[in-house]
Every structure is written in C-alpha cells, then in structure tokens.
Amino acid sequence: MVDIVACTNSQILASRIAGALGARLIPVERKVFPDGELYVRLLGEPGDEAVVVQSLSPKPNDALVELILVSETLRDLGVGRIAAVIPYMAYLRQDTRFNPGEAVSAEIIGRLVRSMGYYKIVTVDMHLHRVRDPSMLLGPAVRNLSAASILAEYAVKTHNLRNPVIIGPDEEAEQWAKKAAEPLGAEYTVFEKKRISPEEVILKPRGLPDLKNRDVVIVDDIISTGGTMAKAVAEAYKNKAGRVVAAATHAVLAPGALGRIYGAGAVDVVATDTIESPISMVSVARLIVEELKRP
C-alpha cells in the first residue's frame, strides 16, 4: 500500500489524494531554525512505496528544500519507490538566457528534481514558454496534467452560464482555452497582447465570437498580479459580454490581485487547490489519483 506524504504547502490536497486512494497519510512537521535552515520530520513510519505531495508555492525556496529533505529521508528509511506530486512547479519563467550570465533556472531546477530518482513526477499546468515538452526539463517520468476543463465546467455549472465562450487572456493561454472549451462544446478564442510601454499592455480580440449577452469564462494557468486577467475581464465587457468568470489553475495571488479582477467586473474568481488559497474551489485530487493509478 502506498503512503501519501503531506508536505507543508499541500496538506489539504495530500489528504484528498490519500482519501481517494484509501491510502495512509503521513504528515510532515517543518520548523525553521534561527538561521533560516529547515527542520523536517515525518510523523509516521513509511512502508515500501510513497508519494510526496508538495507544491512549490508559496515560498518556493523553502518548499523545494523541504521536498528534497523529505524525499531523501524516505530513501534513508528504506522506501524503495518514491513518486513526487508537484502541483505547482516553480522556476519555469527563466527558461532561456536573455542576458549574459543569467541562470537558466528552469533547466537547473529541472535537473535537480530529475536527479531525485522519482519513478513518476506529476505536475499540473506547467508554465511552459519556449520549452513546450515538459520531459525536456523533468525527464521521461513527468506527467503534466491540465485542470482547464474542470475549472471551466465548475464555472459553467456553478453560475449556470448561458451559451458560454471560453477566452484565453493572451496568446500563451490558447492551450488552456482550447482544453477548457472542448468538453463543453463551446467556442474559444484568445486576446492578443500588445505592449505599449514596459508598464502598459493592451489586449485586442483575435477573431472574437459575438459576445453580446453571452457569458464568458476567462481561463489561464496562473493568477499572479491579476493585471492581465483584469484587463481580459474588462475587454470582455467592452465587447458586450453578459457575465464574466475568471478561472486559473494556480492562485499565486500577489497582494491586490483579487481586487484588480473583481474591480474589473468579474462575477467570480476561481482556482484549484494546486496552491491553497481562498479561491481554491476546484480540486485536482481526482486528476492526480487517476494518474497515480496508471502504470
């Protein structure tokens, strides 16, 4: 029987995974020494197989060190097979060297995680830019799932949306808009981003369907500052949309993010539990359990 090890950032999600699998849940105790070093302790004796669940947000540096310490402790205690569920994979923004001397953190952290020897690495909606294949960063053991469809389904059912249109707030979000629209049989499109200055960005519709009196779900992978999502919500209303729901897999939520989006007129802002937050209304536990059951 596999054990589910609940690291600090994913205790709720880990408990949901354990419950769905009928597996034992092993909590992790984490303390911080005065110099900033981490102390971790498994609050249970592991068996032969374990799944470590740890989102790399908030505080990705501490979260990553905790993941490494817990995984290596499991090996020290004789666990033969270890998988990692990393619902939010951090350090993906810097995937190339833009300026001389920069660290390509996506490759470096990818190699570090890959070197841990997990038999399977499960992530959700990795924030991929120039590197489209997640296995190039995390190796062949990675399984990158998507929560776009369950987010859109939740928004449509919860708010009884009429003839909804799915919109990605920028070109990079087209992959999530498409995945969200397909199970619903809905139309989808994206806004195209045009930068006016380092601080100012405008969005223009690309082949936008007629939104008059139609409800809209704007789907993205991450809400960080909320700026892009807020602009997309406002743009949908400019095009006569009915109600607009903002949805994203990962709720990073910098200060003021939710206020910006609600201020633009969104009737709701929803996210998943890849990062535990006040808007984590949709759980990815079922998606992860299905993947863990696969060979």
Number of H helices, E strands in the chain: 9, 14
The amino acid at residue 26 is I
Known catalytic residue at 231 = no
Amino acid making up residue 258: L
Residues 6+ apart with CB under 8 A from 118: 71, 82, 83, 84, 141
Report phi then psi at 112, rounded to 5: -65, -50
- CA distance linking residue 258 with residue 247, whole number of Å: 12
* Nearest residue to 274 (alpha-carbon basis) of 1, 9, 47, 4: 9
Which candidate in 31, 157, 193, 231 is catalytic? 193
- Other Cβ atoms less than 10 A from the Cβ of 83: the count is 21
Q: Active-site residue numbers?
A: 193
